[in-house]
Structure 1
Amino acid sequence: MNKFAYFILLLLAVSAGCNQESGAGKNGSETAKNNGTRAQNDTSLAAKRILMIAELKKMQQAFIAKDVNQIEKYFDFPLADSTMSMFDVNEEFDQVRKGNGGIISRALFIKNFNDIYDYFQMGGFNDLFKAVNIAELKDKTRLENESHVEDEGCYSFYVVQVDGDTVSLQYGTNSDPKYREAHPDQEEVCGESAQQWTFKLEGGRLRFIKETTAG
């Protein structure tokens, strides 16, 4: 092999090595970028979850105090009655609501809050917050608990479910299987019911989306 041919082969070998190093560097850069993006997303999700927990704790205090001025802040008014399972709250409320085309104003909500509170059994919020530890949502997306009383046909259940920016709060009653087994002669042992309230984290606060009643 003459010197010129040898020189050409040497140049090709060096060039190939440089290309491999360049490719490896590019891949390494892309990997680092992707890892950085994932870490940033994880941090953002963690921050949102911490904020959601803080907002739920504020909600807990509002319901403990039964403070309508704090509770109404979770609702955007005017509120469409289609977002709530609302039928017969009281005569005055129902007349005004229907006259407004199913729209509930802030003033109407506040004025009739006690009846609305009873109608939707909002005391269940207090029981729910006592039954689960909201702080555990930092590492979990679902919290649930049940309360059984010996020799009673109903048991109470409580569920908190997080899905992205949305959180659902559910409370209700169901037939106790042990009681049903012990009383096979009773066709119905519990007036089963469930209520689910869905909120979304927007603008740094929880905003009411929808209420659903079953039973």
Structure 2
Amino acid sequence: MKELNRNLLLSFFTFCFLLFLSCKKTNETAKNQVISEIKESVSDDREKRNEELSRNEKVVSRLKEMKSAFENENSEEMLQFFEFPTKNFMFIRKSEEFRKKIAANNNEITREHFLEYAKIQKKSNHPSLYQLLVTLNLDSLKKLDSIKKDLEIEDDECYYMYQIEIENDIVILSYGSNSNQKYSDEGDCSERHTFLYFRIINNMLKFERSDSAG
């Protein structure tokens, strides 16, 4: 009888232990599921926030990086705005040595060519790409698709026009000059305008082409 009671007691404890393990496993599974759901939720929120970083905000971020490249006069920082190899000569200091090198490369500029021959400078003179980035309030683009400013400088016979426009996946940077009649009765300042087109690709800005007028 004692042996039977002992076996019954042992069976009871074994049952309780197995029940405890089962409950613990169930709780851990539920806990892991909750943690997984939280992680997914956080990930979704992060992706959502990235999506909520609007197209314009991403453009502003890239333009500020371009401005920084000018301020640091750093060719490497400017690399991100081009697809290499390229036949675009923007920023390139042409020389006989340069012409020979690209002629041997099907007239295409590589990253190495760009780093060696590109000249990234802060230009104090107007109009210029650097002065466009300095003159315009880039943060205004976060809520607007177009910002512009006409700049007058005392005793300067020119006035300067700066504008940034975002049209779908194209960003247009334009800068130019025209006569300022306040300081020039005969309009000695020639009208000229430069348009630079960048395409938004994977949150980056890639140079496509340039146009000029005047």
Residues 71-109 of structure 1: CA deviation (Å, up to 9, x unaligned): 01211110023xx57998333223433443331111111
Instruction: Report the Cα distance in structure 1 between the residues aligned to 2:51 and 2:75, rounded to whole angstroms.
Output: 32
Q: 1:159 aligns with which of 137, 158, 163?
A: 163
Count of aligned pairs between the two proteins: 164
> Which amino acid in structure 1 is aligned with residue 70 of structure 2?
F
Instruction: Report the Cα distance in structure 2 between the residues aligned to 1:198 and 1:214, rounded to whole angstroms.
Output: 14
Instruction: Report the Cα distance in structure 2 between the residues aligned to 1:94 and 1:158, rounded to whole angstroms.
Output: 33
> Which amino acid in structure 2 is aligned with residue 73 of structure 1?
Q
Unaligned runs of 5+ in 2: 1-49
Q: Which residue does the alignment assign to 2:194?
A: 195
> Structure 2 length as normaliser, TM-score?
0.64
Identity value in percent? 25
User: How far 1:122 sits from its partner (Å)?
Assistant: 10
User: How far 1:201 sits from its partner (Å)?
Assistant: 1.5
Residues 116-152 of structure 1: CA deviation (Å, up to 9, x unaligned): 769xx99923311221111111221111112212332
User: How far 1:213 sits from its partner (Å)?
Assistant: 3.6
Instruction: Report the Cα distance in structure 1 between the residues aligned to 2:121 and 2:106, rounded to whole angstroms.
Output: 22
Q: 1:134 aligns with which of 128, 131, 138?
A: 138
Q: Are 2:126 and 2:160, in contact at CA under 8 Å, matched by a contact in 1? A: no
Instruction: Report the Cα distance in structure 2 between the residues aligned to 1:85 and 1:53, rounded to whole angstroms.
Output: 21
> Which amino acid in structure 2 is aligned with residue 140 of structure 1?
L
Are 1:103 and 2:108 matched, yes or no? yes
User: How far 1:167 sits from its partner (Å)?
Assistant: 0.8
Instruction: Report the Cα distance in structure 2 between the residues aligned to 1:100 and 1:169, rounded to whole angstroms.
Output: 30
Q: Secondary structure at the match of 1:177?
A: coil
Q: 1:52 aligns with which of 59, 62, 70?
A: 59
Alignment RMSD: 3.2
Q: Greater helix share, 1 or 2?
A: 1
Residues 29-86 of structure 1: CA deviation (Å, up to 9, x unaligned): xxxxxxxxxxxxxx958622222222222222122211111101211110023xx579
Structure 1 residues 127 and 163: alpha-carbon distance in aligned structure 2, compared to 1, 3 A threshold: same
Q: How does 1:1-215 map to 2 (within 5 A)?
A: 47-81=54-88, 89-114=94-119, 124-180=128-184, 183-184=185-186, 189-215=188-214
Structure 1 residues 46 and 88: alpha-carbon distance in aligned structure 2, compared to 1, 3 A threshold: closer
Residues 148-188 of structure 1: CA deviation (Å, up to 9, x unaligned): 123322222211011012111112222223334xx23xxx6
Structure 1 residues 86 and 57: alpha-carbon distance in aligned structure 2, compared to 1, 3 A threshold: closer
Displacement over 4 Å in runs of 4+: 43-46, 84-88
User: How far 1:200 sits from its partner (Å)?
Assistant: 1.6
Which structure has the bigger radius of gyration? Answer: 2
Instruction: Report the Cα distance in structure 2 between the residues aligned to 1:122 and 1:164, rounded to whole angstroms.
Output: 28
Unaligned runs of 5+ in 1: 1-42
